[in-house]
């Protein structure tokens, strides 16, 4: 399991590939499910030109690790990778990456979803958007179930 | 007792500070009571204010002890 | 939407990245969910040394495209990419890639899962494994719900 | 009428061929009846044999017409 907060822009596919190579479990995992959240240029009907992500140093890392451990207890997983940006983010950049490796697809799908839903609803991050009229705090994440 | 209080995001802006050290009389013992003391208002902890003691989520009636770090923040919006 | 059967080995992350660049929708999609199925070195307790994937040329492509269209009707998606290997496959290689781009995560997660479940239960592919004792046809896929 | 019949995977092995052209009398009109004719057995279409006409899944009682391509195959195992 690896949880990381990152100040710099990252390329999610490179990170997944690197992790998979480091794992050295080729032939063991049958399923990899990944979620990547990207910065959009609009939110709630307004144009957004930039974003800053605040977090609670210490608690954020601890909370993310706790979520991943819960997922590892609940499903049979081989590896979990979480990377989340903090600080200034530009349009189109990856904000969050969650990747889960498992022998079978059900565990990988469900664990990835579980981690994302908890991350969105409980991990201490706060987004501040820059609009034409100035800055505003995002008040609430959209619910994850459609 | 002495505790450390932290504020995040919009609460940091409305309080005008990121953190402070607070000396408490012994009769202030819960997160909700601390909130009343900090805001100077009689109303309880609003629904849209979350709290953690020592980096773990707690409810409004959680008890505070000497040396604790108490954090107040709005609903989270990561991911 | 892009559906492809591939005889050659592929690197799933490169394919996703390439598709995302071609889309030119940076700033519009907020969520990318991908599933990658890899060849394992064992199945049902037996060591597997190689695999061959047979398909029904014409019907397989048509069926995969139908699944993706159904997903696009059911959820609000920006792009869907499916790549599936045919022919000879080696241990650790990617067999299937399904990637879904959407504004929000619920649609991306659910559409990716939907496509994979239909692909596993209905798309005309057949796996033949090579074991120490010889070759055997895989009789049934494992169910997708845990 | 003339139809094309295709077999896949383990069925291709048990029939010993990948495809064939079959001349049918007019009284053979469903996939299940075609299966009986091809196997020479009276039993119906087994549960673990799937069928398609012109590359679309069909049930055992689906009707066959001149020029159709009918496929028989075992449960699929892709992904």
**ipTM (interface predicted TM):** 0.94
> Which chains are within 8 Å of A by 3+ CB pairs?
B, C
Q: What is the pLDDT of residue C116?
A: 98
**Residue A138 is nearest to which of B6, B56, B77, comparing CB atoms?**
B77
Q: For residue B25, what are the contacts with CB-CB under 8 A and spacing of at least 6?
A: none
| Digitized pLDDT (tens) for each residue of chain B, 79 residues in all | 999 999 999 999 999 999 999 999 877 789 999 999 999 998 889 999 999 999 999 999 999 999 999 999 999 999 9
pLDDT, chain A, mean: 96
Q: What residues of chain D score a pLDDT lower than 50? A: none
What is D2-73's CATH number? Answer: 3.10.20.30
Q: Please state, in angstroms and rounded to a whole number, the distance separating the CA atoms of residues A107 and C35.
A: 12
Q: What is the pLDDT of residue C145?
A: 58
Q: What is the pLDDT of residue B27?
A: 74
Q: What is the pLDDT of residue C146?
A: 44
pLDDT class for A141, splitting at 50, 70, 90?
A: confident
Mean of the pLDDT values across residues C30-47?
96
Q: Within its chain, how far is the Cα of B49 from the centroid?
A: 9
Q: Please state, in angstroms and rounded to a whole number, the distance separating the CA atoms of residues D46 and A58.
A: 61
The closest of B31, B21, B18, B23 to B1, measured between CA atoms, is B23
Mean of the pLDDT values across residues A17-28?
96
Q: Do B9 and A84 touch (CB under 8 A)?
A: no
Domain spans of chain A, in order of start: 2-137
pLDDT class for C69, splitting at 50, 70, 90?
A: very high
Please check the confidence at residue A90 and state whether its pLDDT lies above 50.
Answer: yes
Please check the confidence at residue C141 and state whether its pLDDT lies above 90.
Answer: no
Which residue has better confidence, C45 or A79? A79
Asked if residues A123 and A48 have their Cβ atoms less than 8 Å apart, the reply is no
> For domain A2-137, is the CATH number 3.90.1170.40?
yes
Q: What is the pLDDT of residue A146?
A: 44
Size of interface C-D (CB pairs under 8 A): 71
Task: Tell me which residues of chain A, numbers 16 to 75, contact chain C at a CB-CB cutoff of 8 Å.
Answer: 16-17, 26-42, 75
Q: What is the pLDDT of residue D7?
A: 98
Chains D and B touch (3+ CB pairs under 8 A): no
Q: Do B79 and A139 touch (CB under 8 A)?
A: no
pLDDT class for A145, splitting at 50, 70, 90?
A: low
Domain spans of chain D, in order of start: 2-73
Contacts 24+ apart (CB under 8 A), A72-77: A72/A1, A72/A111, A74/A111, A74/A114, A75/A102, A75/A107, A75/A108, A75/A110, A75/A111, A75/C146, A76/A102, A76/A103, A76/A104, A76/A107, A77/A101, A77/A102, A77/A107, A77/A108, A77/A111
By CA distance, what is C76's nearest residue in A? A146
pTM of the model: 0.95
Please check the confidence at residue C8 and state whether its pLDDT lies above 70.
Answer: yes
């Amino acid at each position: 399991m690896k949880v990381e907060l990152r100040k710099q822009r990252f390329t999610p596919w490179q990170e997944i590939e690197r992790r998979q190579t480091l794992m050295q479990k080729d032939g063991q995992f049958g399923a990899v499910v990944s979620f990547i959240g990207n910065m959009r240029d609009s939110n709630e009907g307004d144009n957004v030109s930039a974003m800053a992500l605040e977090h609670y140093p210490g608690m954020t890392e601890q909370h993310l690790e706790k979520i991943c451990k819960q997922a590892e207890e609940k499903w049979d997983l081989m590896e979990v990778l979480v990377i989340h940006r903090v600080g200034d983010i530009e349009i189109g950049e990856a904000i969050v990456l969650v990747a889960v490796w498992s022998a079978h697809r059900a565990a990988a799908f469900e664990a990835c979803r579980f981690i994302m839903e908890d991350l969105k609803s409980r991990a201490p991050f706060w987004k501040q958007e820059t609009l034409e009229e100035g800055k505003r705090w995002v008040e609430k994440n959209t619910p994850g179930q459609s | 007792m002495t505790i450390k209080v932290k504020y995040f995001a919009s609460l940091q802006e409305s309080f005008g500070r990121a953190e402070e050290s607070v000396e408490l009389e012994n009769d202030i013992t819960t997160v909700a009571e601390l909130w009343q003391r900090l805001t100077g208002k009689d109303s309880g902890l609003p629904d849209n204010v979350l709290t953690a003691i020592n980096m773990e989520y707690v409810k409004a009636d959680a008890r505070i002890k000497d040396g604790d770090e108490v954090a107040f923040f709005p609903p989270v919006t990561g991911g």
